[in-house]
Amino acid sequence: MLPAKDSLEKGVDIGYMEENINAESLFEGMTATLKIMNGAFKAVGLEEIEPIGHQFDPELHEAMVVKHVEDVKPNKILSVFQKGYLLNGRLIRPARVEVSG
């Protein structure tokens, strides 16, 4: 996590020093920092739950909204409000999702 923190601090420092920082360079820095964080998370066994298009599973997902959608079977995950995570195969936060009804 320290490399990610270093990267965020460097970005904040640059933001204070430069008057005309552009959105593209800010986005690039954020993307690079996110890659560092994802690598650190993966190294310790943290993985995202990828639920879109899968069947709703109350062991992994928390339904926030149920929406009727033509031609979509009930209990299919349509969108994600908040990502869920497993740590070494154990749920630490369910994915908050929109489900077809």
Q: Which residue has the higher pLDDT, 80 or 11?
A: 80
**pTM for the model:** 0.78
The reply to whether 52 and 95 lie within a common domain is: yes
Range of the structural domain that residue 57 is part of = 46-100
pLDDT at 2 over 90: no
Cross-strand partners of 77: 99
pLDDT at 95: 97
Confirm if 61 and 77 have CB atoms less than 8 A apart: yes
The reply to whether 84 and 50 lie within a common domain is: yes
The reply to whether 59 and 33 lie within a common domain is: no
Strands (E) located in 1-101 = 46-49, 61-67, 77-82, 84-87, 90-93, 95-100
pLDDT at 52: 95
- Most confidently modeled of 5-9, 11-15, 64-68? 64-68
The reply to whether 68 and 96 lie within a common domain is: yes
